[in-house]
């Protein structure tokens, strides 16, 4: 009879490499896709933000504290959905402002088609889903915010992202070095990677960002990112070559410091 392998069988020599790879590394994805153009922050991002439930700040004693936002925000806990959807629109949709505007029902159907495509899959230009009446995602999301927020995905898709299991296992410095190399390779192919940025078990941050550019020096790689929480300007995620460590500067939801990074939406288990 078939079934999942037991722990004993997983530890046999034939299973061990696979088992360790699943626990300790990010799965590889197909490397034959090369995008026609680089991701553009001004046109390929959403006009609206993933809103924060809490307001964060340093108090008079330098302690990082928070309090619930008032009035309560309506669109929260969607960072994974927003980052994932941005890449899906970039790789699988084409905007045509020369065509007339469509009705809401039509746009709902088109958005559903775009986000139904596996995030690791990119359509050829001839098969991209055409959205009429708008020049780009930024303009589309300004005009059709309600449609996009409803159809791109619910909160549960952020809580149950398929790669969340990875964060409970240690991130070695070698793993983070490989991750930086993978992200760099993706960007050279005009394939903007989506990353899970986390500190576990503290969970001072548990967030998704899309990386679309980089600046390299001998000492570091500064990855330029689209942060769903901050759609007005790019953020920076820095990799230090010597310590093999990623850091994120302080912002309105994170006090700043070291983070662990893993690329997601890149394989069946991520």
pLDDT digits (tens, 9 = 90+) for 172-227: 999 999 999 999 999 999 999 999 999 887 778 889 999 999 999 999 999 999 99
pLDDT at 6 over 80: no
Instruction: Give the Cα separation of 162 and 217 in Å (integer).
Output: 33
Q: Given this model, what pLDDT does residue 8 score?
A: 40
Instruction: Give the Cα separation of 91 and 122 in Å (integer).
Output: 5
Q: Given this model, what pLDDT does residue 166 score?
A: 67
Question: Which has the minimum average pLDDT: 33-42, 140-149, 154-163, 236-245?
Answer: 154-163
Higher pLDDT, 39 or 71: 39
Q: Given this model, what pLDDT does residue 87 score?
A: 96
Pairing of strands 194-198, 206-216: antiparallel
Q: How confident is the model at residue 155 (pLDDT cuts 50, 70, 90)?
A: confident
Q: Given this model, what pLDDT does residue 214 score?
A: 98
Backbone conformation region of residue 58, classed left if phi is above 0, alpha if psi is from -120 to 50, else beta: beta
pTM for this prediction: 0.85
Q: Given this model, what pLDDT does residue 59 score?
A: 66
Per-residue pLDDT, averaged over 90-99, amounts to 97
pLDDT at 129 over 80: yes
pLDDT at 9 over 50: no
Where would I find the H helices in the chain? 7-10, 16-24, 79-92, 104-116, 137-143, 145-151, 156-159, 173-188
> What would the two tokens of residue 157 be?
């898709």
39 CB neighbour count, 10 Å cutoff: 22
Radius of gyration of the chain (CA): 20
pLDDT above 90 coverage of the chain, percent: 64
Q: How far is CA 40 from CA 79, 226, 259, in A?
A: 19, 10, 25
Question: Which has the minimum average pLDDT: 3-12, 108-117, 158-167, 236-245?
Answer: 3-12
- pLDDT of 78-93, one tens digit each? 999 999 999 999 999 9
First-residue to last-residue Cα distance in the chain: 28
The strand ranges marked E within the chain are 54-58, 64-68, 93-96, 129-132, 194-198, 206-216, 220-226, 235-240, 245-248, 257-264
Q: Given this model, what pLDDT does residue 7 score?
A: 36
Q: How confident is the model at residue 169 (pLDDT cuts 50, 70, 90)?
A: confident
Q: Given this model, what pLDDT does residue 195 score?
A: 96
| SS3 call for 200 | coil
Q: Given this model, what pLDDT does residue 70 score?
A: 82
Instruction: Give the Cα separation of 218 and 3 in Å (integer).
Output: 49
Q: Among all chains, which residue has been given the structure tokens 């936002």? A: 69
pLDDT at 19 over 90: no
Q: Given this model, what pLDDT does residue 54 score?
A: 73
pLDDT at 157 over 80: no
> What would the two tokens of residue 136 be?
């780009």
């Amino acid at each position: 009879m078939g079934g999942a392998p037991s722990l004993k069988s997983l530890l046999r020599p034939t299973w061990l490499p696979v088992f360790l790879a699943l626990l300790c590394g990010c799965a590889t994805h197909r490397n034959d896709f090369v995008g026609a153009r680089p991701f553009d922050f001004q046109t390929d991002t959403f006009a609206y933000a993933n809103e924060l439930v809490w307001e964060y700040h340093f108090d008079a004693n330098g302690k990082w504290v928070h309090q619930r936002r008032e009035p309560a925000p309506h669109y929260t806990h969607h960072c994974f959905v927003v980052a994932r959807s941005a890449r899906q629109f970039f790789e699988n949709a084409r905007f045509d402002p020369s065509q007339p505007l469509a009705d809401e029902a039509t746009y709902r159907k088109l958005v559903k088609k775009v986000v139904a495509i596996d995030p690791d899959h990119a359509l050829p230009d001839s098969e991209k889903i055409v959205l009429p009446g708008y020049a780009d995602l930024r303009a589309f999301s300004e005009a059709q915010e309600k449609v996009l927020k409803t159809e791109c995905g619910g909160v549960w898709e952020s809580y149950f992202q398929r790669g969340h299991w990875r964060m409970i296992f240690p991130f070695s410095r070698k793993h983070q070095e490989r991750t930086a190399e993978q992200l760099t390779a993706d960007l050279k192919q005009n394939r903007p990677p989506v990353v899970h940025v986390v500190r576990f078990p503290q969970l001072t941050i548990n967030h998704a960002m899309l990386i679309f550019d980089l600046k390299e020096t001998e000492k570091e790689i500064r990855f330029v990112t689209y942060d769903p929480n901050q759609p007005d300007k790019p953020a920076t995620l820095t990799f230090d070559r010597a310590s093999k460590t990623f850091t994120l500067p302080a912002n309105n939801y994170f006090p700043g410091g070291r983070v662990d990074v893993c690329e997601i939406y890149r394989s069946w288990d991520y």
